[in-house]
Amino acid sequence: MLGRLLLSRGYHSTKGVFGHRPRPTTRYEGLAAAVLDKRNANANVYRWVEAYRNHGHRMAAIDPVKFHLADEAASEPLPELQYARYGLGAGDRIDPRGLLNVPAAQQPLSMAELDALLARMYCGSCSIELAFIESEQEREWLAGRYEQLFQHELTVGERRELAELMLKSQAFDQFLAVKFPTVKRYGGEGAESMMAFYWELFRSAGEHELRNVVIGMPHRGKLNVLTTMFGTRPAKIFKKFKGHPEFPADAQAMCDIASHFHTSTDITVGGKTFHLNMLHNPSHLEAVNPVSMGKARAKQLALADGPYDTSGPDRRSKVLNVQVHGDAAFPGQGINQECLMMAAVPHYEVEGTVHLIVNNQVGFTTPAERGRSTRYVSDLAKAIMAPVVHVNGDDPEALAGVTQLAIEYRQKFGKDFFIDLNCYRRWGHNELDDPTVTNPLLYRVIHGRPSIPDRYAGRLIEAGVFDQQDVDAVSNSHRNYLTAELAACEQYEPERSYFGGQWTGLQQPGDEVTVWNTGVDYRLLSHIGQESVRLPEGFNVHPHLQKTHIDARRKRIAEGQRIDWATAEALAIGSLMYQGFNVRLSGEDVGRGTFAQRHAMLVDQQTNEIFIPLNAMAAATPNAGRFELANSILSEEAVLGFEYGMAIDSPNSLVLWEAQFGDFFNGAQIIIDTFLVSGETKWMVCNGLVMLLPHGYDGAASEHSSCRVERFLQMTDSRETSPDGDAVNLQIINPSTPAQYFHALRRQQIRNFRKPLLVVAPKTLLRLSDCVSPHTDFAPGTHFQPVLPDPAPLDPKRVRRVVLCSGKHYYTLASERQARQVTDVALVRVESLCPFPVQAIRDELAKYANAREFVWSQEEHRNMGAWTFVQPRFENMCERRIQYRGRPEGATVAVGVSKWHVREAEDVIKTTLY
């Protein structure tokens, strides 16, 4: 019963909400009576067939470079596969219908014939794993369709196409080895059969009328497929190898290496056209995988496809996600488990991914047996019961057939499928590395055997499909083409591959900080606020929420003077929806909010059904956007990568990721470093992703007190000696009022450019009575202010000290100043840390002509927080010395003793004000 419950687990909505389409609960009728009768009548034979299906992979000839001594023991007959074990004799003859998916002409069979057939299917150059899949429907379909593969042979023309693609890939690597011998190219030698995967992928994409194929792929063999199959001109690669940039001269880019290149192009196969996106990948292996999922999901959003398709539950998505993995990286990098755990989660599923593991059988220098604790590199797939087929790289025809099976399965069941391509690296990790130093026996075998393209071409020559002249002609023709491209590379002008399509009208910003009118008429905001807590008839809301959330918000909106943080957020989201923008908020428990402040998703206390009021409002508003609330798995790296993928493809969607606590971002540091803050300067890929990181010292010890803003400030390209503009790579704010947060969110979409935004988000301010905003702060003509002046009624001439601070810390200082009636200290809030608001700070300082002391005050330790960022910029551009007031240097974020915390906090306040 437990297993049944787990497989049929529900979601808060059985009716569907924006971004989640419940899957139909189809009942599997089971096997036909005739099939069951046949199996019951031949129970021992069927047990033997099932043994092959479940254990045949252990004997399969899937390794093209066997060299271990243990391989001899592995070649011993497997007891489970011996028919005598099941009471069968050599003289028996079996009609396999109902037991195997074979043509009628193949029955009845002798035991020897049936044994040979089973061995060919399950112990040959490819083999499937089925035993761990719980669904009988899927197992039966997979076994039957897999067995059909062995009844189909490629045509002569198709076999020639495969051979030509692999020979071209080989020629490309050999050409680069001669022309660019000192360049690391991470070629495809030893994995050329990967071409068969893409060849069949394109054919199947056309047959299934897919609209988009989104691929995440590491560097191994990437240049081969780009230039051989994806339409990238070799001249672009060659010019890069010669030390030139890949973007036009006016692009504000630092560029990247060639093996991280991408493509976005239309592919036409068999008269059917689909769009292909292969993403930029960083050198951090597997990090591109969740990004590819997010981008695929964004394509589904743009097409109202897949989870966003409300026309019917049975339509399969026309957007396919493909992930290519390395053999050491796939089991070794935890991001892959996170991605798999998102595969069927509402608001993250992409209705199935096709995975190809390029299994080199060695990771850098680490032998396979020391790179994991599992039998296969693909065993992680079993966690989500995804089918796995192992294929020998020497058999590209088998790989093509398995690829067709993978896409058919994905289109039928909407689930992931894995192909484990066993191949090898002909050279080391890169072509300049000598692999014999650490793996001598393996490379003795590799260097003593023909290449994969040569071996396959030899098979075709033996079959009379090719002759040696054909082989030579293909290789020579491709080398001639590459030679011509090399000659033309100096004249090759990089194409402008950005700010097209959905990005048309957007641009890279300049060196000035622009101001955008983000205010909204309060009559509309009042309507949005009321709608944000309007419930349908008969909805059973939690009584506590009725009082503290719904009634309280209605009152705030009606009065219009004390708008709190959560209400301001709802007003920002709702007003953007009114303007046609979609909004997606993702993260752990974001529907309610970590601090029980948001409640954008309400749950009926009797039925468990959810209701999202802002979407009900949007449904009644023509051309309004929609609000997708995505409660995520307990993951940061994969989820943030997913949201980044959404953001780079959806400039008209506000995409937000909220960390449960600010310091949780460190689980996603790879995504932040390699994509978020550097994607634009490396690849001219812009994004407007917003990260909300709750921050603030409140006595809860080290973890969760700080979002480590100092790390983000260090990652910006802000200048210390000249003013910043909008062109900074990452914008960082620490807003202190709900209205400021409102304007910051709206500004993300209103501007004509996109930049990632880090919001140092509040915890205690969510309910602080002083942290509210009047409706006038939201009015037309208002905007985000990088600096907030001191609202206290001070005499500027009497101010002796100007204190600069940020965020929550202001309220602590202001409360103490008022309690002690300090009248000669001004508190200026720096709301925007990056871009650093030099001119706005100068304007505030000008008010206090008699001030002689300038202080930066923070609650973080001196080696943390914004101090080391603020000091040089303030002193260099405001031309005044600034003093530090805050905690001393520390190794951890905060003390774990409450009395110490209180004493430290008092010292910070005292030294700042007195």
DSSP 860: E
Locate tokens 């009021």: which residue? 613
**Residue 166 resides in a domain:** yes
Looking at residue 27, its pLDDT comes to 80
Q: Could you tell me which residues are beta bridge partners of residue 834? A: 732
DSSP 316: P
**One domain, residues 99 and 238:** no
Helix (H) or strand (E) holding 627: strand 627-631
The boundaries of the domain holding residue 628 are: 522-784
Number of other CB atoms surrounding residue 556 within 10 Å: 18
What confidence category does residue 114 fall into, taking pLDDT thresholds of 50, 70 and 90?
A: very high
**pLDDT > 70? residue 75:** no
| pLDDT tens digits for range 534-593 | 999 999 999 999 999 999 999 999 999 999 999 999 999 999 999 999 999 999 999 999
**Residue 500 resides in a domain:** no
Picking from 277, 373, 235, the residue whose alpha carbon sits closest to that of residue 648 is 277
- Written as one string, the DSSP assignment of 235-255 is HHHHHHHTT--SS-TTS----
Q: How many domains is the chain partitioned into structurally?
A: 4
Question: What one-letter code names the amino acid at 403?
Answer: T
**Residue 630 resides in a domain:** yes
Question: What distance in Å separates the CA atoms of residue 617 and residue 577, rounded to the nearest whole number?
Answer: 9
**Residue 23 resides in a domain:** no
**Residue 205 resides in a domain:** yes
Picking from 589, 585, 598, the residue whose alpha carbon sits closest to that of residue 643 is 585
Looking at residue 104, its pLDDT comes to 73
**pLDDT > 60? residue 2:** no
**One domain, residues 552 and 689:** yes
Phi-psi region of 751 (alpha: psi -120 to 50; beta: other; left: phi over 0): beta
Residues comprising the chain, all counted: 914
Lookup: tokens for 30: 């089971």
Percent of the chain exceeding pLDDT 70 equals: 98
Looking at residue 324, its pLDDT comes to 98
Picking from 321, 361, 185, the residue whose alpha carbon sits closest to that of residue 257 is 185
Question: What distance in Å separates the CA atoms of residue 416 and residue 362, rounded to the nearest whole number?
Answer: 25
Locate tokens 């309280």: which residue? 552
CATH number (domain holding residue 257): 3.40.50.970
**One domain, residues 113 and 237:** no
Lookup: tokens for 101: 């998916």
| pLDDT tens digits for range 134-158 | 999 999 999 999 999 999 999 999 9
H-helix segments, 704-752: 709-715, 738-750
- Written as one string, the DSSP assignment of 70-120 is HHHHHTSPPGGG-GGGGT--TT-EE--BTTB---GGG-SEEHHHHHHHHHH
What confidence category does residue 649 fall into, taking pLDDT thresholds of 50, 70 and 90?
A: very high
**Residue 802 resides in a domain:** yes
**One domain, residues 807 and 880:** yes
What confidence category does residue 74 fall into, taking pLDDT thresholds of 50, 70 and 90?
A: low
Question: What distance in Å separates the CA atoms of residue 348 and residue 40, rounded to the nearest whole number?
Answer: 43
**One domain, residues 211 and 353:** yes
**One domain, residues 189 and 54:** no
**pLDDT > 80? residue 663:** yes
**One domain, residues 43 and 140:** yes
**pLDDT > 80? residue 419:** yes
Looking at residue 313, its pLDDT comes to 67
**One domain, residues 857 and 810:** yes
CATH number (domain holding residue 907): 3.40.50.11610
Looking at residue 710, its pLDDT comes to 98
Lookup: tokens for 633: 């798995």
**One domain, residues 67 and 143:** yes
Rounded to 5 degrees, what angle do the CA atoms 722, 724, 730 make? 140
**Domain limit, last residue, from 752, 784, 816:** 784
Question: What distance in Å separates the CA atoms of residue 56 and residue 59, rounded to the nearest whole number?
Answer: 6
Percent of the chain exceeding pLDDT 90 equals: 91
| pLDDT tens digits for range 590-603 | 999 999 999 999 99
**One domain, residues 844 and 731:** no
Looking at residue 302, its pLDDT comes to 97
Lookup: tokens for 361: 């059988």
**One domain, residues 359 and 481:** yes
What confidence category does residue 107 fall into, taking pLDDT thresholds of 50, 70 and 90?
A: confident
**pLDDT > 80? residue 25:** no
Question: What distance in Å separates the CA atoms of residue 741 and residue 298, rounded to the nearest whole number?
Answer: 26
Picking from 154, 59, 140, the residue whose alpha carbon sits closest to that of residue 101 is 140
Dihedral over alpha carbons 735, 739, 743, 745 (to 10 degrees)? 70
- Written as one string, the DSSP assignment of 806-846 is -TTHHHHHHHHHHHTT--SEEEEEE-EEES--HHHHHHHHT
**Domain limit, last residue, from 741, 758, 784:** 784
**pLDDT > 90? residue 700:** no
Averaged over 741-763, what is the pLDDT? 98
Low-confidence winner among 307-311, 335-339, 649-653 (lowest mean pLDDT): 307-311
Average pLDDT of the chain to the nearest whole number: 95
Question: What distance in Å separates the CA atoms of residue 58 and residue 682, rounded to the nearest whole number?
Answer: 44
**pLDDT > 50? residue 1:** no
Judge contact between 789 and 828, C-beta under 8 A. Answer: yes
Lookup: tokens for 398: 């088998």
**Residue 362 resides in a domain:** yes
**Residue 400 resides in a domain:** yes
Lookup: tokens for 153: 């042979």
Question: What one-letter code names the amino acid at 882?
Answer: I
Calculate the alpha carbon distances from 122 to 90, 111, 128, 393, 897 in Å: 20, 16, 7, 16, 63
Looking at residue 15, its pLDDT comes to 83
| pLDDT tens digits for range 787-813 | 999 999 999 999 999 999 999 999 999
Lookup: tokens for 644: 């980044």
Lookup: tokens for 900: 């110490």
Calculate the alpha carbon distances from 226 to 204, 232, 262 in Å: 19, 5, 8
**Domain limit, last residue, from 86, 115, 150:** 150
What confidence category does residue 16 fall into, taking pLDDT thresholds of 50, 70 and 90?
A: confident
Number of other CB atoms surrounding residue 503 within 10 Å: 16
H-helix segments, 489-579: 522-531, 543-545, 552-559, 565-578
Output the 3-class SS for 147-176: HHHHHCCCCHHHHHHHHHHHHHHHHHHHHH
Looking at residue 291, its pLDDT comes to 98
What confidence category does residue 182 fall into, taking pLDDT thresholds of 50, 70 and 90?
A: very high
| pLDDT tens digits for range 457-509 | 999 999 999 999 999 999 999 999 999 999 999 999 999 989 999 999 999 99
Question: What distance in Å separates the CA atoms of residue 131 and residue 800, rounded to the nearest whole number?
Answer: 78
Looking at residue 781, its pLDDT comes to 97
Q: Where does residue 401 rank: exposed (0-12), middle (13-18), buried (19+ CB within 10 A)? A: buried
**One domain, residues 706 and 742:** yes
Task: Sort strands 212-216 and 263-269 into parallel, antiparallel or unpaired.
Answer: unpaired
Averaged over 691-718, what is the pLDDT? 95
Question: What distance in Å separates the CA atoms of residue 196 and residue 869, rounded to the nearest whole number?
Answer: 52
Lookup: tokens for 94: 């079996």
Question: What distance in Å separates the CA atoms of residue 734 and residue 740, rounded to the nearest whole number?
Answer: 9
Question: What distance in Å separates the CA atoms of residue 556 and residue 560, rounded to the nearest whole number?
Answer: 6
